[in-house]
Amino acid sequence: MSTRSVPIRIGYCLSLTGPLADNSRSARLAHDIWREDTNRQGGLLGRPVELVCYDDHTDASLVPGIYKRLMDEDQVDLVIGGYGTNTLLPAMPLIMERQRFFVGLMGLGVNNAPAYPNYFAMIPTGPDPNAALTEGFFALAAEQRPRPATVALVSADAEFSRNPIFGAKVNAAKYGFQIVHEATYPLTTEDFTPVIDAVAESDCDLLFLCSYLADSIGLVQTIHAHRFRPKMVGGGMIGPQNTSVKTTLGPLLNGFVNYEYWQPVPKMMFAGVQQLLNTYQARAGEVRVDLLGHYMAPLAYAQMQVLAQAVEATGGFDDESLSVYAREATFQTVIGIIKFGVRGEWAEPRVLQVQFQGISGHDAEQFRNGSRQIVVSPPNFTSGGFSFPYAEAA
């Protein structure tokens, strides 16, 4: 059998069930589209590509065993990282032991402590990821008049929120905001009224939230119904990037400010991204994933483009060669030009702050073109003006 007919096998895991399933399944569809596009164009190194993906069920304890199986039993040619800190961190010890080339998807600060030279992060938070994810919120607040002075930090009691809250504290100090209230809540929380009552007692100017999908919905609903109105609210919420969360909350999101990694605004329509989204959106309903894919699909597709460009440039699967190449190369992707820097993070951060404006009703179509999520920072990607304070924008 000719080696050109033998598939190149790429192994990884995703949280296809459990609390992270919505985003992971969206990434899986983008990966499948990349595989189909690549094979249609002749494959990698002239060989077809096959993806070997296992479900980790959002259980970090299963991850090391999955990667051991991929490498020892499946003998995949390449491994990549799954989605998020909760999947990437438990994979790292084995990946480091085996010295594998490893491109992760959206993990925040995963390589801060290990400083593993063969790790690369597909997340636009740059060389100081904890600070970069949250800085835009505080920088924007510091520009407002009258200038806000105090901030409350509210976060889920979970691994994913620890780094953003650390970054928020650094940025609060950097921009001169006094932290007057700090609280965590269990991910099982259903009634957020006591949480926001305590925030209201602090009379904070800024309310920084680090929440996940279900609790983001509960927090937005509670804040909208509450008498208390901070001057700015949002910042580090995972959830409002997801189309199902947007359509569930609808106009309750108006006025909230939050991070994003990509938006369909004119300054971010990089080569190939619209074609990807057209394909993704045509199939999303059938496979029951996020209907628009703005949050996960571009980054997940770009993750595979980085892998492919490194393989083609080095002519094979040698992990050290791939890593050496990736540390120096500039990659052309659907989310623009990427160059990696310290600890495998992007050399330059590109985290957006968006403000929800003008949402009416609960249909998904209004979110398709970015006109309801206005990019308000950084300046080189802005798509409209910022409405301040929250009480006037809500």
The verdict on 61 and 210 lying in the same domain is no
Structure tokens at 19: 């609390």
pLDDT digits (tens, 9 = 90+) for 343-380: 999 999 999 999 999 999 999 999 999 999 999 999 99
Dist CA 143 CA 136 (whole Å): 11
Q: Is residue 136 part of a domain?
A: yes
**pLDDT, tens only, 61-76:** 999 999 999 999 999 9
Q: For position 182, which CATH number holds?
A: 3.40.50.2300
* pLDDT tens for each residue of 186-221: 989 999 999 999 999 999 999 999 998 889 999 999
What is the overall mean pLDDT for the chain?
Answer: 95
User: Are 362 and 304 part of one and the same domain?
Assistant: no
Pair (238, 364) in one structural domain: yes
Q: How far apart are CA 69 and CA 79, in angstroms?
A: 11
Q: Is the pLDDT of residue 3 over 70?
A: no
Q: Give residue 19's pLDDT band: very low, low, confident or very high (50, 70, 90).
A: confident
Name the residue type at position 117. Answer: P
Residue 352 lies in a domain: no
Residues 307 and 385 in one domain: no
Q: Give the structural domain span for 54.
A: 3-124+269-344
* The pLDDT of residue 1 is above 80: no
Q: What percent of the chain has pLDDT over 70?
A: 99
Tell me the backbone φ, ψ of residue 304, rounded to 5 degrees.
Answer: -75, -35
Count of domains for the chain: 2
Name the residue with tokens 């970054």: 167
Q: Could you tell me if 244 and 317 lie in one domain? A: no
Q: Are residues 201 and 302 in the same domain?
A: no
pLDDT at 40 over 70: yes
179 and 249, same domain (yes or no): yes
Q: 334: pLDDT confidence band, cut at 50, 70 and 90?
A: very high
Distance, C-alpha 125 to centroid of its chain: 9
Cα-to-chain-centroid distance, residue 196: 26
What span, in angstroms and rounded, lies between the C-alpha atoms of 31 and 372?
Answer: 27
The pLDDT value recorded for residue 161 is: 84
Residues 229 and 152 in one domain: yes
Average pLDDT of the segment spanning 49-55? 98
Confidence of residue 389 (pLDDT cuts 50, 70, 90): very high
Per-residue confidence (pLDDT) for residue 130, from 0 to 100: 85
Nearest Cα to Cα of residue 107 among 164, 62, 26: 164
Position 160 scores a pLDDT of 75
